Amino acid sequence: MAGTCLVRGSINIDEFFRVPHIAHAGETLSSTGELTRRAGGKGANQAAAIARAGGNVQLVGAVGTDGDWVKQQLSEAGVDVKGVHIHPEISTGRAIIQLTPEGTNHLALHPPSYHLAPPITHLLLQNEILQETTLEFLKYAKEKGIRTIYNPSPLLPKEEIAKFPWGMVDYLLLNEHEAAALADATAPHAHAHSLPPTSKAPQIATVLTRLQQPLFQHCTVILTLGGQGVVAHISKDEIYYLPAATLRGTVRDSTGAGDCFTGYFVEGLLSGREKEQDGWKGLLRRCVVAAGMCVERSGAMGSIPTAAEVDERLNELGQM
């Protein structure tokens, strides 16, 4: 029987500005299109991705009265939003997103407030909520035997990284930049256990090797690499690399692609896909294809494909 994941994370209103390039310090840019507002936040996006992938998911957080439509969209996506409270005293979190013609983006966040949650089988956390809240939920999950998935984005300050209870994390999902910064902040001069070379992407083994420190050796590490694909260190003898999906069409918007990948990964854990015939490779392939489809569309939450759409694409590719 599939489990249920609790997502304790941010719920934002994303405001998109199309710009010729990411603004530098002191630079003023004019947007090349109309301001677009969409539902977002890493917690909301990842919860919606789990739901659209076919998983059972509850989201806990808060919005202001200006964000009641965001809660409605989450509900329509299949997310259990009983734990999402609407508070008249707060404003819904905002993410100001600069979107370039190439589809890259830069975010500036204003975080809102949050509340507590019920027990579940899996817990998914990110770094867009108060750190003390994240630590409370991790401790609770550890006590109850709940499997924990941590997407440390945005990355904590160096002093917080050193104090973080990494031993409470079962699955660590991060990109290559976060992985490099995390390795530097924890043991920049430590000797790491070398991983076997990866012939398809030898530079990836170097990044992943730097995380082979005692602090993280108990974690399953999933390292996303954008256009290069993904590498997963499941155990000492299980390392998988998959290239990125081949994109179709002309729209290229990377906003939400990482959250889409995370949501499909968590759904895979909930339904036990890593135990099926294709194992971890099959689970990761599904995540990569879903994230690729997300990039083919505009927006964050609204660009996440459904399980049926991903199955159709996999069938077309002969990978079902």
Annotated binding residues, written as ranges, equal 12-14, 41-45, 128, 175, 224-229, 253, 255, 258-259, 294, 297, 299, 303
- Cβ-contact 217, 244 below 8 angstroms: no
- Cβ-contact 82, 62 below 8 angstroms: no
The one-letter amino acid code at 294 reads: C
Residue numbers in the known binding site for ATP are 175, 224-229, 258-259
Residue 203, C-beta contacts closer than 8 angstroms, at least 6 positions apart? none
Note if 259 is an active site residue.
yes
Residue numbers in the known binding site for K(+) are 253, 255, 294, 297, 299, 303
For residue 228, count other CB atoms closer than 10 A to its CB.
Answer: 17
User: CA separation (Å) from 244 to 102, 173, 227, 295?
Assistant: 17, 16, 6, 11
The one-letter amino acid code at 308 reads: A
Residue numbers in the known binding site for substrate are 12-14, 41-45, 128, 259
Q: Which member of 68, 170, 259, 311 is catalytic? A: 259
User: Where does residue 196 rank: exposed (0-12), middle (13-18), buried (19+ CB within 10 A)?
Assistant: exposed
The one-letter amino acid code at 12 reads: N
- Catalytic residues, by residue number, are 259
